[in-house]
Structures are given as structure tokens and as C-alpha cells.
Amino acid sequence: MRDDQAQITVQVPSAIPYLDLLQNVAEEAAQIAGFGDDGKMDVGLAVREGSINAMKHAHRFDPDRTVTLVMRIAPDVLEMSILDQGPGFDPSNLPDPTLTENLWNTSGRGLLLIRSLVDGLDLQRRPTGGMELVLTKRRPANAGTATGREGEL
Amino acid sequence: MTLRIEHVGDVPVVRLSGSLAVGADCQALSGAVEEEFAAGRYRLVLDLDGLQFVDSAGLGQIVALRRSAVDAGGGLVLAGPRGKVRDILQLTRLDQLIPVRAGVAEAIESVRS
């Protein structure tokens, strides 16, 4: 495996202090994948929002339920999977937070933010229970040469 | 996040820097503004010039404070959002719900009117 391709897995309790940890892991992985400061911030914020959704809505901040983050640094993309242990939900039933009648809502903007930060978003029920949020972001064009080892396997 | 309040006449200007995120940041902002409300100051400015990022919980906190201020006959105006924070306010259309001004002076003038 090249040193700029890897899989990193982190599993944490559903508690706010661990959000920073997940965000930091995501940003570090993004740096390894060749993202600059803006890209790192996008990746970190997307993972943070996805993790908040899992902890808050799926787990009600029950620390006995865990959130798993899997970061995969692939040749062309950075993939982020966030897995929860909640009851699951139908994303098509979520209200559009940008509609005028919803602007006063104090929650419900997480997925909108995430969509703006990444190139791909897939949300599906896991066969074993819970939801899996899969995010992808294309790696910068020059990422493969960031270490000066392009082509080395 | 760091938070500092400066009073310009009767208007509290709440200066935020760093990140406004779920948990302690939101609690600190809410607590500080509630103290202003308790003192009868319902027209206030949030200076976002130094804020680098805000998450969905932070946005929700701002909306909740704006609602409280308006319900009490006052107002809340945002000043100077930049970069990612400005983009997020536009993306979520919260810039249509909450007045946004380029600088603190304009925001103070707006919230007083």
C-alpha cells in the first residue's frame, strides 16, 4: 500500500468531546490525502456534522452507543463513512431547511451543510441496523505527487 | 471559541472568534446573551469577523437568540461574517432571516432602527 493510501477507523462514544477528536482525525487524513487548508476544513466540518447527526438524532447522546468513522484514502477520492447504531430514518422525509417556513427552525441544517462540503453523499440503512453516511471528496489533482513518490508502489 | 462583549451605548456587541460549535461554545454564547436580555438589552450585534467556522448547532443557536430578541421587541444583527461562515449563512439562507451587515458600525445602526 502506498503511503498516501490507507484506511483509518475510529470508534467513539456518543458524547460531545469526541466530536473534536473525529474532526481532527478527518482533517489529518485529509492532509495526508493532499488537501490544502480549505479542503481540510471542508472534510473536518462534514465529518463533524455527520457525527453530530449520529450522536444527537440516532443515539440521543447515549454514551453506550458508539459512532464509527472510517476514512479511506483511495487513489482519486477521500471516502468517509459514519456509522451509527440508531433506529434509522428515511432521508426523503427530512424538511428542506432553506424553505422560508423552515428558516426559524433551530436544527435540521446538517445534511445541507455536508452536501455543500463534499462531492458525494449517500445515506443508507445498514443490514445489521443503524445508518451509514458515506461521503466522498475528490482528492486534489496533485495529491499523488505530494510526497514526491508518484508511481512508487 | 472566544467571546467578548463590548457595549456601544445601549447596544451589546458580542465579538466571537474561532469556532461556534455544538456544546460549550453554544452554551457560552447563550449564557452571555441571556445576561444581556436579563439586563433589558434586547437589541444586540453579533460580530462574526473573527469567526472561522460555525456548525449546524451554532447556526441553530444564533436563530434561537434572534427569535428571543425579536419576541422581546428587540433585534439581533450579524456583522462582518467572512469566508466559510459567510458562505454557510448564504447556503442556509439565514442571511435572509437575520440582517447581515459588513461592519459593526452598520450593524449597530441597523439594530437601533
ipTM value greater than 0.95: no
Tell me, yes or no, if B93 comes closer than 8 A to chain A by beta carbon: yes
pLDDT for the residue A148: 35
Asked whether the beta carbons of B13 and B103 are under 8 A apart, the reply is no
Q: Within 10 A of B70 (CB to CB), how many other CB atoms are there?
A: 14
Polymer length in residues for chain A? 153
Beta strand residue intervals within A46-103, DSSP E: 66-73, 77-83
Is B55 close to A45, i.e. CB distance below 8 A? yes
Is B56 close to A104, i.e. CB distance below 8 A? no
Which residue, among B30, B53, B56, would best test binding to A if mutated, counting the most A CBs under 10 Å from its CB?
B56
**How far is Cα B33 from Cα B26, in angstroms, rounded to an integer?**
11
Encode pLDDT of B8-39 as tens digits: 999 999 999 999 998 889 999 999 999 999 99
**Whether the predicted pLDDT of A144 surpasses 70:** no
Q: Within 10 A of A72 (CB to CB), how many other CB atoms are there?
A: 18
Cell of A87: 433506529
pLDDT for the residue A2: 63
Is A103 close to B96, i.e. CB distance below 8 A? yes
Asked whether the beta carbons of A27 and A46 are under 8 A apart, the reply is no
Is A105 close to B63, i.e. CB distance below 8 A? yes
Chain A residues inside the 8 Å CB shell of B60: 105-107, 109
pTM confidence score = 0.88
**How far is Cα B21 from Cα A24, in angstroms, rounded to an integer?**
14
pLDDT for the residue A3: 62
Is B55 close to A98, i.e. CB distance below 8 A? no
Is B92 close to A97, i.e. CB distance below 8 A? yes
Tell me, yes or no, if B28 comes closer than 8 A to chain A by beta carbon: no
Encode pLDDT of A70-108 as tens digits: 999 999 999 999 999 998 888 888 899 999 999 999 999
Q: Least CA distance to B54: which residue of chain A?
A: A45
